[in-house]
Structure 1
């Protein structure tokens, strides 16, 4: 190997180490790697930037608008409400979660499906007396398996299809993957049906009961110039809140616990309420109350620009193990923290002295742009607005579904390519006002697009410098190894990578290696490419490995051990099925 190959190998190893151990954002790491390869001359600028013009990447960007149109019109809730029904028991409930989730994940971004289903399933589980911990991991796994059934079901499929088109002049059709995806869904779904109830804990999630992850302590002051001074608690309407209750009053140096309804309110009283996040919204609507947290007044935002938001701290959050005051959270994010909850319990005490940890759920007051800006960044695992002032346009849900159906038919029939049909569908979503142009812009996740596009430079450099071929020769100990054994090696190596780094990065790194292995074995590359595609999506064991797993972790009240308990056998089932079926569908 020449120096370019050694440099490429160093960059790839550096990226893997940084992704696993660094708190730097994923897009920063991969953009730095791409820049290094271009600056050192390993790749030309055109080769380094080729990922940004790849058809698969552009299709992903366009489908964000289609998915946003389905979300804004309430199409997902509309379907979910008709398919969930009323379960007879836990197994019946799991089956009712898997079916609609997998069906919708096959045709739209699975993170959007999971994000929209979480509140519906939580409310549904409360009515059905089924713990959400029995349902939310199956929700995530069903979304993963459903996404493997079509080409547009997950970004990984589109990324690999884009690599096939650019590197090998081969393209997949909409339902090319269904021959393997559907059997995997049926077998994986059957496994969940019979074993999820046994392997998952009987535990309430944070949103299911008042005292858990989404229980907050909201402090407010009685405005000395407001209309509540001199009124009793009952007269002020503070005994009839829908989402919270008054715990205590701090009056000067005195603490008044278990206050009665006829307690008179005085100017400067600090009232402590406990309740769901919507409690903060209710308190905001009562004239005469103002937030006790001084940071709220320091936000440089007009009242009409403010919104209440919940955010769960992610593994790449910059201020881990720092106090909120030390992290300068308000200055960095233009957001004031109203309350923090951890492991099912609200954290009491002075907000500025709380040390932030992964999984902490924050109740914020911030701008309306915060959700779109940070929803898909690794600083936060889950970001959602509480008082969204724009309700879903349910009357347009059928229009959005018809647009999605037309896109699928146009692509599946060969009338248009997936990129062309996605362009038209996105245009129709905008033309029919299923989504506004402003919200369409906000819903295109530029961080994900940047990560994927920059990752292409690593794959290109590995191919150009011969690193991929060298790694392939290392894996082939001798020429007598059967192709199906090498296929298993490719699948397992990709599956390990996708558990510790992003699924798309794992797919892009393994693609050139898989193709080189096929060339050295003198067999078809398709079985190996398909193995990379499916293994990169099969992340079940570690919650950090896949976005949907992270999204359900807090709401389901899960621990990492819960994912290992069910995810390890699930991975074995999916891997065994894939390795067995792939050569039967795509011959060597």
Structure 2
């Protein structure tokens, strides 16, 4: 084994150990590992950050921007209300949620779809009186399974397509992954929705008062006679300045609007 190989193995082991430790954010650990490789001369400096210009990275970034647009417009909430059952048991509800996640993941990247549906998953868990993990973990699996069905669904598909193009064989088209991906996704969704979520361990809730609450989300209703009725959002936010509270979204006619316009008038109900 050469010295460079030993250093690479050492960096990989240290990186995995830090991932498992969880003390630092994963992106910072990965960036630190890259810098170590650069300073050790294992990666040329001019190529250290070439990956940020890779088509896969740019595509994922664009898809995440698209996903954020769907989020602040309330389109995802409308879609969820149309497709998710309003009165059903845990199995059917989770099966519907991960199916929706798989569908969105195929056309807007699995990371973006997961981020959009996590608030809905938390609401579903509360409604079904289930631990959040029993809904969030199946949601994660659903987004992964759906991402395998199309070219843009998951970064590895884009990377493989880009590498294939460099070999002179041309890249993959949008649905070249579908014949295999759809079959795997359907089987996986059925397993997770019918059996898998039951296997997720139930973790005990932390003892109240044993830690600082920190930042958290809370949903409030504007009642008749409130000072906020018929006032623009910007005035209400000024009233909340002293409490360190911030309005991140609002619900109107059962549609959730993220990052609402400061000029929007608030109503009771």
TM-score by length of 2: 0.67
Q: How do 1:445-464 and structure 2 match up within 5 A?
A: none
C-alpha spacing 1:48/1:169, structure 2 compared with 1 (3 Å): farther
Output the CA distance in 1 between the equivalents of 2:139 and 2:91.
13
| Pair 1:173 & 2:173 matched | yes
Output the CA distance in 1 between the equivalents of 2:202 and 2:36.
49
| Pair 1:185 & 2:126 matched | no
**How much has 1:82 moved relative to structure 2?**
0.7
Output the CA distance in 1 between the equivalents of 2:221 and 2:162.
46
**Deviations for 1:386-438, whole angstroms, at most 9, x for unmatched residues?**
6226779x99x9xxxxxxxxxxxxxxxxxxxxxxxxxxxxxxxxxxxxx9xxx
**How much has 1:81 moved relative to structure 2?**
1.0
**Deviations for 1:172-194, whole angstroms, at most 9, x for unmatched residues?**
32222222221121111221343
Q: Which has the larger radius of gyration?
A: 1
**Deviations for 1:501-560, whole angstroms, at most 9, x for unmatched residues?**
xxxxxxxxxxxxxxxxxxxxxxxxxxxxxxxxxxxxxxxxxxxxxxxxxxxxxxxxxxxx
Structure 2 gap segments, 5+ residues each: 229-236, 260-269
Q: How do 1:513-552 and structure 2 match up within 5 A?
A: none
| Pair 1:277 & 2:218 matched | yes
| Pair 1:5 & 2:8 matched | no
Could you say which residue in structure 2 is the equivalent of 1:23? Answer: 23
Could you say which residue in structure 1 is the equivalent of 2:79? Answer: 79
**Deviations for 1:319-339, whole angstroms, at most 9, x for unmatched residues?**
xxxxxxxxxxxxxxxxxxxxx
**How much has 1:145 moved relative to structure 2?**
1.2
Output the CA distance in 1 between the equivalents of 2:48 and 2:96.
45
Could you say which residue in structure 1 is the equivalent of 2:267? Answer: none
C-alpha spacing 1:90/1:21, structure 2 compared with 1 (3 Å): closer
Output the CA distance in 2 between the equivalents of 1:5 and 1:307.
57
Residues 132 and 205 in structure 1, CA contact (< 8 A), matched pair in contact too: no
Residues 67 and 116 in structure 2, CA contact (< 8 A), matched pair in contact too: no
Residues 54 and 166 in structure 1, CA contact (< 8 A), matched pair in contact too: no
Output the CA distance in 2 between the equivalents of 1:22 and 1:94.
29
Could you say which residue in structure 1 is the equivalent of 2:145? Answer: 145
Could you say which residue in structure 2 is the equivalent of 1:387? Answer: 247
Write out the 4+ residue segments of structure 1 that deviate beyond 6 Å after TM superposition.
Answer: 201-206
Q: How do 1:225-240 and structure 2 match up within 5 A?
A: none
Aligned pair count reads 241
In terms of mean alpha carbon deviation, does 77-86 or 134-143 score higher? 134-143
| Pair 1:63 & 2:63 matched | yes
Residues 145 and 185 in structure 1, CA contact (< 8 A), matched pair in contact too: yes
SS in 2 for 1:145: helix
C-alpha spacing 1:7/1:192, structure 2 compared with 1 (3 Å): closer
C-alpha spacing 1:28/1:125, structure 2 compared with 1 (3 Å): closer
**How much has 1:104 moved relative to structure 2?**
0.8
Residues 90 and 130 in structure 1, CA contact (< 8 A), matched pair in contact too: no
**Deviations for 1:208-228, whole angstroms, at most 9, x for unmatched residues?**
xxxx99xx99xxxxxxxxxxx
Structure 1 gap segments, 5+ residues each: 207-211, 218-275, 288-301, 309-364, 367-385, 398-434, 436-588
Could you say which residue in structure 1 is the equivalent of 2:233? Answer: none
Could you say which residue in structure 1 is the equivalent of 2:110? Answer: 110
Q: RMSD of the TM alignment (CA)?
A: 4.5
Output the CA distance in 2 between the equivalents of 1:39 and 1:180.
42
Output the CA distance in 2 between the equivalents of 1:201 and 1:8.
36
Q: How do 1:220-369 and structure 2 match up within 5 A?
A: 277-278=218-219, 303=238, 365=244
**Deviations for 1:38-97, whole angstroms, at most 9, x for unmatched residues?**
333333222323212221122222222111111121121121111113344333323322
**How much has 1:121 moved relative to structure 2?**
4.5
**How much has 1:100 moved relative to structure 2?**
1.5
Residues 105 and 143 in structure 2, CA contact (< 8 A), matched pair in contact too: yes
TM-score by length of 1: 0.34
Output the CA distance in 1 between the equivalents of 2:238 and 2:32.
39
Output the CA distance in 1 between the equivalents of 2:49 and 2:151.
24
C-alpha spacing 1:49/1:120, structure 2 compared with 1 (3 Å): closer
Residues 138 and 192 in structure 1, CA contact (< 8 A), matched pair in contact too: yes
Output the CA distance in 2 between the equivalents of 1:65 and 1:307.
32
Could you say which residue in structure 1 is the equivalent of 2:36? Answer: 36
Output the CA distance in 1 between the equivalents of 2:240 and 2:159.
37
Residues 55 and 162 in structure 2, CA contact (< 8 A), matched pair in contact too: yes
Residues 149 and 182 in structure 1, CA contact (< 8 A), matched pair in contact too: yes
Output the CA distance in 2 between the equivalents of 1:169 and 1:304.
62
Residues 109 and 154 in structure 1, CA contact (< 8 A), matched pair in contact too: yes
